[in-house]
Amino acid sequence: MSASSARGPDVDPAAGSSPAPAEKPGRRRRASPYRQPGNLAPRPNVVELPAGHTAKIQPPLTSDGFIGGGFTMDSLEFLLWAAAYFYDDNVTLCVLLFLMGSQEPGGLACVTQAEIAEGISKMMKEETGKKRDQSQVSRSMSKLTKLGLVHMPKRSRYQLQPAATLRGGSATIDRPVRQRPGARTVKERVKVDQLDLLADLLADPDVPEAFKDLARPGPVLPQRHREAAQSEEKATGGQ
């Protein structure tokens, strides 16, 4: 046996390291099916950016810090308008706020007028023993309908004006299986889209014109006139 054979494989002194160990017989590494071309190899998410553009990765914004967890999207102009418009009619203002807080995704509030009267009278009843009458709620609902803020497609179903206030999320709708009158419908969960909802309401012949006026682009919120304000004050008793 030569000296070189006893020392093992020749090592290059300049390399400063020994060669990689030889693979043991019978322990050959298997090729993973995930790494074969065209198989189950994981594909990275690639976003093509225009030339000269950069991207920044940020965590999603959260909106779960609201009292009770639920929240709505409201027009700031509408809130300021309502605070000024109903300055002498707190019953109608309370009814409006109750509907806004009761709406489901898509802006539909499924409540009866008796439930509204009970809801807005809860603390009043505890302190004074009195409650709002359902007839007062009925007058307020009529007023909100004339202003274009509420539309009642069915009994005890109140659609709020999506241009003023809207609860987002997913809603259940009846989707016709065929595009023909009287076709069978199936329940379907869809994401609420404000512009699609407004377009559907504008195309619905059963929706009042006052409601459609506020649903169209660039609406003008109603203004009070002295004669109308005086007649409303007499009808509501200045409440």
Q: What pLDDT, in 10s, does the model give residues 115-144? A: 999 999 999 999 999 899 999 999 999 999
In the chain, the percentage of residues whose pLDDT exceeds 70 is 74
pLDDT of 102 over the 70 cut: yes
* Measured distance CA(70)–CA(73) in Å, rounded: 11
Per-domain residue ranges of the chain: 73-177+185-219
Query: Would you tell me how many other CB atoms lie within 10 Å of the CB of residue 113?
Result: 17
Beta strands (DSSP E) in 10-125 are 73-74, 108-109
In tens, the pLDDT along 5-33 reads 555 555 555 555 556 556 556 556 565 55
Q: How confident is the model at residue 172, as a pLDDT?
A: 82
CATH topology of domain 73-177+185-219: Arc Repressor Mutant, subunit A (1.10.10)
Q: How confident is the model at residue 235, as a pLDDT?
A: 57
Q: How confident is the model at residue 35, as a pLDDT?
A: 54
User: pTM of the full predicted structure?
Assistant: 0.68
